Amino acid sequence: MIKILDRNTVDKIAAGEVIERPSSIVKELVENSIDAGATQITIEIKDGGTSMIRVTDNGSGIDKDDVRLAYMPHATSKINSAEDLSGVMTLGFRGEALSTIAAVSQTEMITKKADTVTGIKYVIHGGKEIEYREIGAPDGTTIVARNIFFNTPARLKFLKTNTTEGSYINDLITHLALSRPDISFRLMANGKTQIDTPGTGGKKEVIYSLYGRDIINNLIEINSEENGIKITGFIGKPHISKGNRSFENYFINNRYIKSRIINKAIEEGYKTFIMQHKFPFTVLYIELSPDMCDVNVHPTKMEFRYNREQELFTAVMHSVKNALKEPELIIETTYDTEAERKKEEHNESKERLKALSEKKEGVPIRKTSLSPSYKILENLKKAEAEAKAKAESDVHVQLKPDTEVKITESPLKIHNDNVLYENAPLYQVSDTEKFLSEAARPRHRLIGQVFDTYWLMEYEDKLYIMDQHAAHEKVNYERFIREMKNKAVVSQALFPPEIISLSGSEKALCFDNLEFFDKTGFEIEDFGGNEIKINAMPVNLYGINGREAFLEFISDLSEGTSGVTEDMFVKKLSTMACKAAIKGNQHITFQEADALINELLKLENPYTCPHGRPTIISMSKTELEKKFKRIV
């Protein structure tokens, strides 16, 4: 017999689509606060959000007559019809959030609009109204959800530990704070402040408050537009990486989403700049035409569809790749040991947390002044400005005849004997000249090889150390790519030819893609049965066992889940070509090392090998003097 379910049961079932865990409740409530125009939002949780979640905002509040309606299924102020879905810009719009939250928790709301004298307190437990009355309250809305899943124990037992559930909420607020730097977010867990962002609109300020000094000091800014897709934000230098994608933050029209296309585009842009199995730090803001996006793909609204995916992939990949070409990405080693660096970071964190803890408790967040983290940033900016002003008025520069200089207005003149003269222009060494550049090359001083692997070079006031194997790998890789693009691949005949036995499917795969093998320098012919004969292979791979190289290639093609492409061949062959590079613990001459440096100068990205390892690192004269206690 078919039965119509009662509203209470329907709400509990519907809650499963949106309310999977405590972080789902936080997401819905905070997004409602954002849509209500809040500029300050406080989130308080206990026991990972399982026992209590409180979200307080200074938004527009809810009309008295709309309070009960807000808890009705599919009640919404965001859309009127299905046609509105195509252009929806608010974070929430379906209207079931409050209804489903109330269905699986003990919920209390206090809300007041700015033009009313009193607010409304509304209490609803498990979908049943408990209390509705007028109450004195500040402008905005506070919603408390207690004892999550108290009436659905089966769902409760699938939650993870309180610590893990709390970490999901932390990640959520991090993403929301990055998406809206103009809003001040404060997250408190069991009475302790975990996140406190300034809400001043500055993206760098938010990144600093969330990730700290190491990240903020190693960012590259992005500002590009391609095919009507605008991309701004920041990416981390290659050495800032992680073993998973948790550092890859990106936002579509200020909404945090997850996209396989964008992940792939970011990682393609970082290809050869970053080590394999490592993932970069990004905070990218992508602006797309709303009528070409569909964010109503999944109840959590963290997935989306875009009807020009290839253009989106290309725009993101180019923006990342082009940004990485600009700065010189040589890693500079410092005097600080890892232990000292961690200690300094710990002390900085303690200072920030102490400042946060000094904020008076009990005062509504909407009434507080600038957050302490922002004050710290202001102090840092002030110190930087003072240092810059001092540098412009009291700098000693030693000039060489072949040093590129630029002239700036200053009342001082710098002379080689360090005598200062008034009312003369100041000459400053240009900071745009890269170590790996034709202009700098004549002033490189090649010192020698250590450990039969590393080459030492002096330039200006820095010591540079080159890994001969990584550098030669990159030269081989780029040479092969260039030859492929110019259709100038040269084959090397194998004597004797390699006879290889394959399975039926492997042999079919080989001959289905024979055109690609031909383009990349392999000469292959059928040898009868399940055997093939390799008569030649690319010259850049000469010295590598032909059988090993080809079987590795076939294995990769067999495991491929998508169609075979020329890029796939190039990538694999280039990687194999690296095996022919000179090795570590191998002595080479000064002339060979000098020639290797000349080759590096010609590359688009000379700073990392194809696997993302650095080819060159540096140490400043100042750091060496610290090490030898010449300066403190």
Domains with residue ranges and CATH for the chain: 7-196 (3.30.565.10), 212-332 (3.30.230.10), 394-432 (no CATH), 444-632 (3.30.1540.20)
What's the pLDDT at 601? 84
What's the pLDDT at 232? 95
Distance CA 278, CA 462 (A): 29
611 confidence band (pLDDT: 50, 70, 90): confident
What's the pLDDT at 543? 57
pTM of this prediction?
Answer: 0.64
340 confidence band (pLDDT: 50, 70, 90): low
Distance CA 302, CA 482 (A): 40
- Residues 399-428 have a mean pLDDT of 33
For 566, residues 6+ apart whose C-beta sits below 8 A from its C-beta are 516, 519
What's the pLDDT at 584? 81
Q: How far is CA 22 from CA 48, 188, 320, 393, in A?
A: 7, 14, 35, 56
What's the pLDDT at 169? 95
| The pLDDT of residue 418 is above 90 | no
Distance CA 423, CA 465 (A): 42
Q: Contact, 43 vs 55, CB < 8 A? A: yes
- Residues 171-194 have a mean pLDDT of 95
The answer to whether the peptide bond before residue 497 is cis (omega within 30 degrees of 0) is no
Dihedral angle of Cα 162, 167, 168, 170, to the nearest 10 degrees: 130
What's the pLDDT at 168? 93
Distance CA 299, CA 90 (A): 14
Directed axis angle between helix 504-512 and helix 546-559, to 10°? 90
| The pLDDT of residue 438 is above 70 | yes
Give per-residue pLDDT as tens, 454-494: 999 998 888 999 999 888 888 888 877 777 777 777 788 88
Q: Contact, 56 vs 364, CB < 8 A? A: yes
Instruction: List the Cα angle 231/234/235 in 5-degree steps.
Output: 110
The H-assigned helical ranges of 19-142 are 22-35, 67-70, 97-103
Q: Contact, 497 vs 465, CB < 8 A? A: no
Distance CA 496, CA 388 (A): 68
Percent of the chain with pLDDT over 70: 70
Quick one: 532 exposed, middle or buried, by C-beta within 10 A (0-12, 13-18, 19+)? buried
Amino acid at 392: E
What's the pLDDT at 608? 84
Distance CA 334, CA 389 (A): 25
Q: Which residue has the higher pLDDT, 354 or 93?
A: 354
Q: Where are the beta strands (DSSP E) in 29-170?
A: 40-46, 52-57, 106-112, 119-125, 128-135, 140-146
**Coil vs helix vs strand at 350:** helix
| Tokens standing for residue 121 | 């307190």
What's the pLDDT at 433? 66
**Coil vs helix vs strand at 285:** strand
| The pLDDT of residue 100 is above 70 | yes
Directed axis angle between helix 203-211 and helix 162-179, to 10°? 160
Quick one: 233 exposed, middle or buried, by C-beta within 10 A (0-12, 13-18, 19+)? buried
| Tokens standing for residue 589 | 């001459």
What's the pLDDT at 99? 86
Distance CA 152, CA 196 (A): 33
212 confidence band (pLDDT: 50, 70, 90): confident
Amino acid at 224: S
199 confidence band (pLDDT: 50, 70, 90): very high
Element (H, E) at 1: none
- Residue closest to 537 by CA, chosen among 495, 486, 571: 495
The H-assigned helical ranges of 394-519 are 468-485, 504-512, 514-519
Distance CA 479, CA 570 (A): 12
Q: What are phi and psi of 128, to 5 degrees?
A: -105, 125
What's the pLDDT at 137? 93
| The pLDDT of residue 544 is above 70 | no
Distance CA 48, CA 552 (A): 48
